[in-house]
A and B are shown apart, each in its own frame.
Chain A
Amino acid sequence: MRGHWVLLLGLLAGVPAAALAHDVGVIRLGVEEAAAGSELEIRGEKLSKNTEFTVVLRGALETHTLGKVRSDSAGAFTLRVVLPAEASPGAYVVRVLAPDGDESARAELRLLPAAPPAPAAESHDHHEAEGGHDAPVEATADPLDLPLDRSPLEWAFVLAISAGSLAGGLTLLRRP
């Protein structure tokens, strides 16, 4: 019986240890925003020692790999990268990924357009650009051609909720 308690305590003690198996590292970018195509210095600290990390730039619609870097014996690194010129401006997260793909550290970065803004664009309230799909230079009233394919599960949900509402509504209307 006593052995069970020891085993249980051992397992419970192992839970936080397992949870902490991945780093809670830190990366510093030095800037909060940078232009696409410009150079960026990324400093990492408090990471796993002597480990190779992949650094990616992740946005709402696109992800770019910035490069690979190896931490030193103190769990730190310095990486200089060129931000992809073709990346759409917008809000991004720089993520440092461990070899198993888990995130070890992150920092937010606002990506600005590569080219200087047009003279008329004195502020960014008019949504100069954002990520993802084709971004025409000329204004157009045409709608975006978005893929709106729904999965069978999604269709089933929509049909079920529609049928349920209809049945519920008719039942209520038929009651005296």
Chain B
Amino acid sequence: MDRTESMATASRDAGGGSVAPPVDAAVGVGGRFALHALGYSIPAVANRLPYMLGGLTFLGLAVLVVTGMWLDQYYNPDPLAAHASVVYTVTRAPLGAWVRALHYWAACVVLVSIMAHLVYVFRRRSYTRPREVTWWSGVLMLVLVAGLAFTGTVLRADQEGGEALAHAVAAAELLGPLGAPLSRDFAASASLLTRLHNAHVSLLPLLLVATIALHFWLIRHLGINAASEARAVFSAHLRRLAGFGLVGFAALSLLAALFPPALGHRAVEGVEVTKPFWPFLWIYTLENTLGLWGMIIGPAVLIGFLIAVPLLDRGHERPTWLTGLAAALFVALLGALIYGFFAPQMQHIGM
């Protein structure tokens, strides 16, 4: 065994830290990019698909970033020109219809995978000490992804987008000073649509990147919560993740080509004839039941519960009532979402 190999072996035996060969061993392209740093040890069970939901969510976000940059080349955030620019993107821009469909389906995948990841992490109690901040950063990511989905809907500037914008304004009015950034008077020099476009392409993505960086940092240094003794190398985990990601992208690509998402007619103000983007249908059900306050109370209860979870479960086992409460919330959310799909269309604003 030469000196380099023995150093690497010793480092691995010492507890799975990153393998840092001497500078003269860092040769080739991989060496120059310090890829040997990815050779650290992780639980072998992390190579199972349920443990990869977070990584797959990240890959979905990467697809959204790339397709979003393409779409933004053709998008005009001027309220008078927004809808026409989307029509132009879909009908005339090179690969525009496919890229927009890819963006839509990738958003759907991200929303499903982030929720599945959250449920799986809850099931494994990976939010308990010392991983509370990892959990809370995940909850913040969920909020940011929901914000991106909402602003993305508004940018279409079709009837559904116009109604979503009207709901945002109504929610801002209900929230008083807290809702000021979503009010029309917040910045008289720029329209609300333009400001939501800015939020969609810069503010929210930047916050998301910072939160993802924190999330990854904590996972790297606090480790993956797994009882298994078997170990694997992280670089092999990345390779497997990339494999699933590429197969998923192939499916997404064909889905986008065969089933492009619809675009509605330009928005007509003051009426509600559409239902929201499907991940928000559970809020629509709450609005049907509780009125406009439903769209504030529902998300507040859900986010409040998720934030409280690590504080409510601090023992050796999860309290039965907490498991029951979580299950009840999940069933209620799923039920409200399905009901929202079939519920009669209703007018909420001004009622």
Of the residues A129, A132, A165, contact of B253 by C-beta under 8 Å:
A165
| A90/B87 contact (C-beta < 8 A), A126-B162, A140-B264, A165-B247 known | no
- Binary interface encoding of chain B residues 76-89 relative to chain A, with 1 for a CB under 8 A from any of its CBs, else 0: 10111111110110
CB distance from A155 to the nearest CB of B (A): 8
- Binary interface encoding of chain A residues 126-169 relative to chain B, with 1 for a CB under 8 A from any of its CBs, else 0: 11111111111111111110111010001101100111011011
- B185 closest partner in A (C-beta): A123
Of the residues A89, A127, A144, A166, contact of B267 by C-beta under 8 Å:
A127
Of the residues A91, A142, A162, A163, contact of B76 by C-beta under 8 Å:
A91
Residues of B within 8 A of A135 (CB): 265-266
- B247 closest partner in A (C-beta): A169
Q: Any chain A CB within 8 A of the CB of B245?
A: yes
On whether the beta carbons of A172 and B240 are closer than 8 Å, the reply is yes
Residues of A within 8 A of B219 (CB): none
Size bin of chain A's contact surface: 35 or more
On whether the beta carbons of B192 and A125 are closer than 8 Å, the reply is yes
Q: Any chain A CB within 8 A of the CB of B292?
A: no
- Binary interface encoding of chain B residues 258-273 relative to chain A, with 1 for a CB under 8 A from any of its CBs, else 0: 0010111111111101
On whether the beta carbons of A126 and B271 are closer than 8 Å, the reply is no
| A141/B191 contact (C-beta < 8 A), A91-B76, A130-B84, A173-B240 known | no
Residues of B within 8 A of A154 (CB): 94-95, 98
On whether the beta carbons of A60 and B84 are closer than 8 Å, the reply is yes
Q: Which residues of A contact B (CB under 8 A)?
A: 59-61, 88-91, 110-112, 118, 120-121, 123-144, 146-148, 150, 154-155, 157-158, 161-163, 165-166, 168-173, 175
With contacts A135-B265, A142-B265, A172-B242 known, what are 15 further pairs, Cβ within 8 A?
A60-B76, A110-B78, A110-B80, A127-B80, A127-B162, A130-B80, A130-B84, A132-B87, A135-B266, A148-B91, A150-B257, A154-B94, A161-B253, A169-B248, A173-B247
